[in-house]
């Protein structure tokens, strides 16, 4: 049977779920509801992984990635490496509504946001600066650059790639397990779908780095004739597999949401068994599921669901494969 409407999102971000649900109840479209839900996480700085003041890059700046997709029209708006604007999913929505483009990045995305009336303000906080200073004060800070180590002077850093240096082992290994992107799927009473994501990406990333979250088919995907999916995890690896697109295509050919999610994870796992990744899936009749890659220290993935059956925001936990 059909159990709609449905709000489902990554992690235990219940306030986001509840906000999207009550927006729907008040008559908002799934698109407006999904935007409202993700905006709550940007304001609440969910797990420090969404919105301002989290996960500074190599230079100490927090930058944002976000996506919104209308599964009825297949319209998409996205921003990557957005600077000095807190409401990244709002800017993504503005890209969708006010341009014929899909994806704006960097300083130019910020200039567009300002044209659209979004406030320009620092995304740094005392917390993010403290995190950054602590990282800087470590000797040989783990970072995302290859081929810069070992430093013959023994000082490590600053983080410049060295032309001509043959690939050798990375000095430090960064893992993203503390990064909890919000990805949300909202399905209205008659099966209209919308999906969105918002994140501040990866700590100590190289400036200019854009993750999977704002890429349609990677961070999220929605097609009202089938269903939707949204991913979280190590975006540098995940984006190579378009897991959200894959899961939706599997559901299109009749696969149940849980199995579709698992196949998307297995595809990544085959090449990167140690990759941190998880995905949520829902079909347009309200069936839903999730999957994650089992790695040491991460064996269960929480996600939150609100539908007429639960009648509240309910946190589920799925065992990783």
The nearer residue to ligand SD4, 220 or 226, going by C-beta atoms, is: 220
Residues whose CB falls within 8 Å of the CB of residue 34, separated by 6 or more in sequence, listed in order: 20, 68, 184, 185, 186, 194, 195, 196
Least distance (Å) from ligand SD4 to the CB of residue 164? Answer: 29
Question: Do β-strands 103-105 and 75-82 pair in parallel, antiparallel, or remain unpaired?
Answer: parallel
Least distance (Å) from ligand SD4 to the CB of residue 200? Answer: 8
Q: DSSP string covering 252-316, please?
A: HTT--HHHHHHHHHHHHHHH-TT--EEEEEEETTS-EEEEE--BTTB-EEEEEEE-TTT-S-EEE
Q: Does residue number 198 form part of the binding site for ligand SD4 (CB under 6 A)? A: no
Least distance (Å) from ligand SD4 to the CB of residue 133? Answer: 22
Q: Does residue number 55 form part of the binding site for ligand SD4 (CB under 6 A)? A: no
Least distance (Å) from ligand SD4 to the CB of residue 105? Answer: 14
The nearer residue to ligand SD4, 199 or 263, going by C-beta atoms, is: 199
How many Cα neighbours within 13 Å face the side chain of 176?
24
Give the x/- contact pattern for ligand SD4 in 233-272, rule: CB under 6 A: xxx-------------------------------------
Please give the residues from 200 up to 239 whose contact with ligand SD4 meets the rule CB under 6 A. Answer: 201-202, 211-213, 232-235
Which alpha helices (DSSP H) does the chain contain, by range?
Answer: 14-25, 30-44, 88-98, 106-115, 126-137, 235-238, 243-252, 257-271
The nearer residue to ligand SD4, 84 or 179, going by C-beta atoms, is: 179
Phi, psi torsion values for 189, nearest 5 degrees: -55, -35
The nearer residue to ligand SD4, 21 or 301, going by C-beta atoms, is: 301
Q: Does residue number 176 form part of the binding site for ligand SD4 (CB under 6 A)? A: yes
Catalytic residues: 181
Residues whose CB falls within 8 Å of the CB of residue 192, separated by 6 or more in sequence, listed in order: 29, 30, 71, 72, 224
C-alpha closest to that of 92 among 71, 84, 82, 83:
82
How many Cα neighbours within 13 Å face the side chain of 168?
11
- Radius of gyration, CA atoms only, the chain: 19
Q: How far apart are CA 177 and CA 186, in angstroms?
A: 25
Residues of the binding site:
209-212, 232-235
Which of residues 131, 199, 262, 293 is near ligand SD4 by CB under 6 A?
199
- Residues in contact with ligand SD4, counted by CB under 6 A, come to a total of 14
Residues of the binding site for substrate:
209-212, 232-235
The nearer residue to ligand SD4, 217 or 233, going by C-beta atoms, is: 233
Least distance (Å) from ligand SD4 to the CB of residue 2? Answer: 30
Which of residues 143, 181, 224, 284 is near ligand SD4 by CB under 6 A?
181
Please give the residue ranges that form the binding site for ligand SD4 (CB under 6 A). Answer: 176, 179-181, 199, 201-202, 211-213, 232-235
């Amino acid at each position: 049977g059909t159990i709609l409407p449905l709000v489902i999102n990554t992690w235990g971000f219940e306030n986001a779920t509840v906000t999207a649900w009550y927006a729907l109840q008040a008559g908002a479209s799934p698109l407006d509801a999904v935007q409202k839900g993700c905006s709550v996480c940007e304001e609440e700085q969910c797990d420090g992984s969404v919105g301002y003041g989290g996960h500074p890059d190599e230079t100490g700046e927090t930058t944002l990635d976000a996506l919104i997709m209308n599964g009825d029209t297949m319209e998409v708006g996205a921003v990557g490496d957005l600077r000095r604007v807190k409401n990244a999913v709002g800017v993504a929505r503005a890209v969708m509504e006010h341009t014929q483009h899909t994806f704006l990045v960097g300083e130019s995305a910020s200039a567009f946001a300002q044209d659209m009336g979004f406030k320009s303000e620092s995304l740094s906080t005392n917390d993010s600066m403290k995190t950054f200073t602590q990282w800087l004060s470590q000797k040989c800070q783990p970072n995302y650059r290859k081929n810069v180590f070992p430093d013959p002077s023994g000082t490590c850093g600053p983080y410049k790639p060295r032309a001509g240096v043959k690939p050798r082992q990375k000095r430090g290994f960064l893992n993203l397990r503390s990064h909890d992107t919000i990805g949300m799927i909202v399905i209205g009473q008659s099966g209209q779908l919308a999906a969105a994501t918002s994140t501040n990406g990866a700590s100590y990333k190289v400036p200019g780095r854009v993750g999977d979250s704002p890429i349609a088919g990677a961070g999220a995907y929605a097609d009202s004739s089938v269903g939707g999916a949204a991913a979280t995890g190590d975006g540098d690896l995940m984006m190579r597999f378009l897991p959200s697109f894959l899961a939706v295509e599997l559901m299109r050919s009749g696969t149940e949401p849980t199995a579709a999610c698992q196949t998307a994870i297995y595809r990544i796992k085959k090449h990167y068994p140690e990759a941190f990744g998880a995905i949520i899936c829902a079909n347009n009749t309200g069936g839903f599921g999730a999957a994650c890659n089992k790695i040491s220290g991460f064996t269960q993935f929480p996600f939150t669901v609100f539908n007429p059956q639960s009648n509240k925001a309910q946190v589920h936990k799925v065992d990783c494969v």
